[in-house]
A = this chain, B = another copy of it.
Amino acid sequence: MVHAVHDLRQHAPLVQCITNQVVPQITANALLAAGAAPAMVDTPEEAADFAAIASGLLVNTGSPTAAQYSAMGEAVRGATAAHTPWVLDPVACGGPAARTEFSRDIVTRHPAAVRGNASEVIALDGGVEGGGGRGVDSTDEVDTALQAARSLAKRTDGVIAVSGPRDLIVSTTRASWLTSGDPMMQRVIGTGCSLGALTAAYLGAARTGSGGLTDHDAVLAAHAHVGAAGTLAARDHDGHRRGPGSFAVAWLDALDTVAEDPSVIPGLVSVEETTEETAG
């Protein structure tokens, strides 16, 4: 992970974000704080050309307008042609039918990574719908999404990340369980959406970096970075827990601090690794 943070800071990847209208400000600030560069280029007219020059692309389905859907399709087209890695954040997949259908369709176009909560990942794989009924909150535990994540990893040949108290990151040959972060992250809008953007940043940096990092390493590093910042931000200098407003500010500061001293991360997160059977 130290290599990954180093690559991120060195390359300052330009990350194109097509995201929902609630979170562009915190997403852009999170990318800047961590060491990347944001570009919210999300019109159908500009999306494909920009994806060709971006280092990474985030496709977040949280603003389900016709224009956004069209821009997402165009951006993926441009990213695919230029080998720009892209991340799918299937917001509320399993909720509204059109979103579920769109996410299931675009995931067939080989994202380098998927990042969602357990309900979204299960629905994305074709599981029972309705889990998105509480909007963006997951109604399922991370563990229950393991099979869906494995299935999606095989189908996409990408990395599938399931966010929760313990994050699960699955690729065809490897599964990692990451413990990090703080429950206060659920009380600040956009921390999860920002993680999707950071995942695209780390993928972009890893592919241009010299560290020989796999996509799995990059996705894991993004989650560790964001989670470590959450742990650092949870308490103030006197050890008191911060409220949600102060936490959001401190989390951005910590994204920067972590990037400046990558050795901080290993002490703040713990990772368990297992090898996946590459069955049939």
Q: Which residues of A contact B (CB under 8 A)?
A: 14, 20-26, 28-29, 32-33, 37-41, 43, 45-46, 49-50, 53, 64-65, 67, 96, 98-99, 133-137, 186-190, 242-246, 248-257
Supplied contacts A28-B189, A243-B254, A244-B256, 15 more A-B pairs, CB within 8 Å: A14-B135, A21-B21, A22-B28, A23-B25, A29-B189, A37-B134, A38-B189, A41-B135, A45-B64, A46-B96, A50-B96, A50-B135, A53-B133, A245-B249, A248-B252
Task: Identify which of B23, B41, B188 contacts A32 (C-beta below 8 A).
Answer: B188
B190 touches A243 (CB 8 A): no
Secondary structure of the A side of the interface?
helix
Question: Are A33 and B250 neighbours in the complex by a CB distance under 8 Å?
Answer: no
B65 A67 Cβ-Cβ under 8 A? yes
Q: Contact at A252–B257, with CB atoms within 8 Å? A: no
Contacting pair B28 A243 (CB below 8 A): no
A202 CB, nearest partner CB in chain B, Å? 18
Known contacts A37-B135, A135-B41: A190-B22 contact under CB 8 Å: no
Contact of A22 among B40, B49, B64, B67 (CB under 8 A): B40
Number of copies: 3
B252 touching A243, Cβ below 8 Å:
yes
The list of the 9 closest CB pairs from A to B, nearest first, reads A245-B252, A243-B253, A39-B135, A28-B189, A245-B249, A22-B24, A245-B253, A33-B244, A243-B256
Task: Give Cα A257 to B49, complex, Å.
Answer: 43
Chain B nearest CB: distance from A64 CB in Å?
6
Contact B64 A43 (CB under 8 A): yes
Which of B64, B190, B243 interacts with A257 by CB under 8 Å?
A: B243
Tell me which residues across on chain B come within 8 A of A134, comparing CB atoms. 14, 37
Could you say which residues of chain B place their CB within 8 Å of the CB of A190?
25
A187→B135 CA distance, assembly (Å): 31
Task: Point out the residues of chain B lying under 8 angstroms from A50, CB to CB.
Answer: 96, 135
- Find chain B residues with CB under 8 A from A245 CB: 29, 33, 248-253, 256
A20→B46 CA distance, assembly (Å):
15
B25 touches A187 (CB 8 A): no
Q: Give the distance to chain B from A257, nearest Cβ to Cβ, in Å.
A: 6
In the complex formed, the residue of B with least CB distance to A96 is B46
Which chain B positions have C-beta within 8 A of A32?
186-189, 244
A to B CB contacts below 8 Å, 13 in the list = A21-B24, A25-B189, A29-B248, A33-B245, A38-B189, A41-B96, A43-B65, A49-B96, A243-B256, A244-B252, A244-B255, A245-B250, A245-B252
